[in-house]
Structure 1
């Protein structure tokens, strides 16, 4: 009970702290679609080049593939909390801007239902919107200027429920149901002379998604143990409504409402068909190698905005994890050292330029006890580059540091009386 209470206090205190933390996250690319998608990788998977489709882990929830849930330790309750901080430097040909972002990246739980059936559920941010745009234009035929300030905020959240079922010694399958919901707000302030117009738009989205996966393990192919994994996510349709208001005011006078419309139906926002394949091989019980490939078919997604277009997105990832030994009496040899690389072609094309992303990552997994079945603290660091300065676009150079707590509790073991 002390461990349960302690873990609950950690989660509660950290969540409150993050809620109060100051964040000046800003991304010009969050202007498009539903915003910037979050890469939600639990445990140490973000240090492994964002891989994990074929990975099996006793001590961490793997959201990359719902079939992987079957690999968590039996008769245990696994709960995870992730925190992340991103330091970014956004630059154009002529200027630059620094930002810091601090967030709770995920909260998830997993447990055993039957020997062959395990389950998880949790909450993650799916996307985030935050941008500021200032425009100044001369008014034709006048000495005045039209000044416009546009700000956007909000994003989409995801609640997921996953199930993993072991069909045999080597084969596992799984499915994950998710509910996506959230709102995206945009406020536009227009100044001309002594008058000000304020236009606000609030878009609310809701929908359901389904992700399926499988894993199959074969011994003594590329290493001691090799697992092949695959995932398939069906297209998801988010229904939406929009509220619009507009007011106008002059210097020294009160605001006058000129528009107020609510519950305007929006066209469904389509999230694409997604497929993924992965290989994870354990070599000499010390070295684990992961390789993943994913493709998201964004080009089939409808968009009513002609300022940008979607392309099919491909993601390549590779990572290695090394544990010197499993000598329970030696702390340093029980650490898990990780490194990875990732390339994401992106799904946006702006000014005939694709908004791609390169990243390299490092990490370490620290056990909290000398037991084989133990909780872990995973510290992950990545450096990456998104976008380009070509054609008057913006390049984002970022450093991301994440702390993931994978807490393992033996909740379902029978008490023994001696």
Structure 2
């Protein structure tokens, strides 16, 4: 059984290696929900994620003989980077198995620390099976990303840092994938203050731990699909479920749209680059999945290794959703001056054109027609309403997309 002393020992192992990451108040969330809401920013940790803590603690406790044989792991990205960093620190060989769809930024991060990377499988669990086989065939130590006592103890050091800085804390809200992070935090926090509430958050597309928690027995998902790839875990580990049942007060879930909203919110309002898994605790607060009014709460921002392509998509959709970007398909008469007259309307409305496509060849068009697909920068719902009214007044047929 993992104890508070194990977590304190892990903290000593991490001294002069892992950052004691910042904890700052979230003013907009605090005002909105009439509470003191803090963010624990482990996206600013070395390697961009909390995973360094557990991986480093695990390798630090290996015998000299096992270190010489090297280590192997399976990971969707963050555990891989933490383990690769630790392996480089101790000058041992590391081989990491990652799902084929792992974002390039995470694969590149692992390779930058000198680890060997093998891309295999559609998800973490398939990569894990390949890693198990490799470890057995090569007689090297498999370092599990969450179902390992030393890894769990390392993740629990986050709770020590939070409780040292925030007095009278009522709740800690924690992302859940496999359950190692919340297990470590819950054990440490509840050992210090049994009254503190620990709330877990899963992605709707990877909700096996929530379903298992409700049923009090392991229930694996048939598949996982979520933008929060760091917590896209299909199977539930019975040992971790037992810890979570004993120490965690509730588990809630958030959708991919809610996660995307939180990523954009943290980027715009807090200047934080956060991956999907790192944003779920904030998403749970924003979308009122947890009761926090008149409370003192800390949300774990667990990682920041988001793929740039995914971030671009989230920003783009967020701009459209918040009425700061407007996409239109407009029919024109295909003759000189038609496009000029259309753009004059946008000029009158002070709408900036950021992209335009002119199509006169589609078989869906009548002869003499052209179709314009245009993207505009806009200033909110009223501004978009004005643009639509102007287009109607001038006889344009259009569709907003």
- Do these two structures clear the TM 0.5 threshold for a shared fold by scoring above it? no
Q: Is the strand fraction higher in 1 or 2? A: 1
Q: Is the helix fraction higher in 1 or 2? A: 2
